[in-house]
Amino acid sequence: MRQIILEGADACGKSTLAANLVTLVEKRHPHIQVRVVREPGDSIKGLRDICIRAEALDLAGQSLGKPTPLASATLFIAGMVQTDKAVYKWAAEVAARGKEAFVIRDRSIISTLIYQGFLGAGPAGVRTIWAMYQELLSESFDRVYVLLGNHKHRGPSNMHSGVGQGPHIQKLYASVQKLLGPLDAGGLDGHNLALVREMSKAMKRADRVSFYQRFPDWKYINTNELDAAATAEFVLLGLQKAFKWT
């Protein structure tokens, strides 16, 4: 089984790229069957959305109380475990039909380490979350990592069920600015790689080594430089090269 992991700030184009990749891969490589999963786990989507909405309400000053960052992270990792079980079962069924399984992951443990860990619970939270993840999940398949950024924040969206992500993004921008210095004209997206690096520095040395063994190479794409279709074509070329698809 092979996979691609898509990461990046809210509204940078992860879901759009995932949908376009499904179309391209299945059309040009009919021997491949594609499945899209959204981390931290489609199996706990309702609970995940409750956590996200609670955090948005809290930042908007309307909270009735929200889960702590580590509580959310524990729930998210549990969802990842359930998702992986379902994905492995599906991949085995695909292989039995003589096809190749390919998984597109919309977000990963990276998001949990950054949002609930580094920007939420702090360095100690990063170490705790990574320890939980290491204990419960192991990756043993080929993968490609893509970090997306649009270098322009596109404004509030309805991702938080009508609450809007304005206060959420503003609080996130403030946290990043405090940690990494002034935001450039690119906004939060221009700091994605820096966030990954700074988050990993919070780990113990041995954990940092294991982190980069699992997530060794990132390809950064500015989605404002290419339209959605061209971005998908560009990523597909990378997949064909990495996985030797013909």
Per-residue confidence (pLDDT) for residue 129, from 0 to 100: 92
> Mean pLDDT across the stretch 13-41?
92
Per-residue confidence (pLDDT) for residue 217, from 0 to 100: 75
Per the prediction, the chain carries an average pLDDT of 77
Per-residue confidence (pLDDT) for residue 120, from 0 to 100: 84
> Mean pLDDT across the stretch 206-211?
86
CA distance 51 to 115: 12
The three-state secondary structure class of 219 is strand
Q: Which of 76, 49, 54 is closest to 136 using CA atoms? A: 76
CA distance 77 to 48: 11
The three-state (H, E, C) secondary structure of 150-169, written as one string? CCCCCCCCCCCCCCCCHHHH
Sheet holding 2-8, edge to edge: 32-38, 100-106, 2-8, 142-149, 218-222
Per-residue confidence (pLDDT) for residue 99, from 0 to 100: 96
Q: Which pLDDT tens digit goes with each residue over 145-191?
A: 888 876 554 433 322 222 334 555 556 556 666 666 655 544 444 45
Q: Which pLDDT tens digit goes with each residue over 232-242?
A: 999 999 999 99
CA distance 207 to 131: 8
Q: Could you tell me which residues are beta bridge partners of residue 147? A: 7, 220
CA distance 85 to 102: 15
> Mean pLDDT across the stretch 21-29?
96
Region of poorest pLDDT, from 49-63, 151-165, 196-210, 222-236:
151-165
DSSP E strands: which ranges in the chain? 2-8, 32-38, 100-106, 142-149, 218-222
Q: Is the peptide bond before 216 cis (omega within 30 degrees of 0)?
A: no
Q: Which pLDDT tens digit goes with each residue over 80-139?
A: 888 888 899 999 999 999 999 999 999 888 888 888 888 888 889 999 999 998 888 766
Per-residue confidence (pLDDT) for residue 158, from 0 to 100: 29
CA distance 172 to 143: 29
CA distance 119 to 132: 18
57 CB-near residues (< 8 Å, 6+ apart): 63, 64, 66, 163
CA distance 143 to 123: 27
Other CB atoms within a 10 A radius of the CB of residue 42 amount to 15
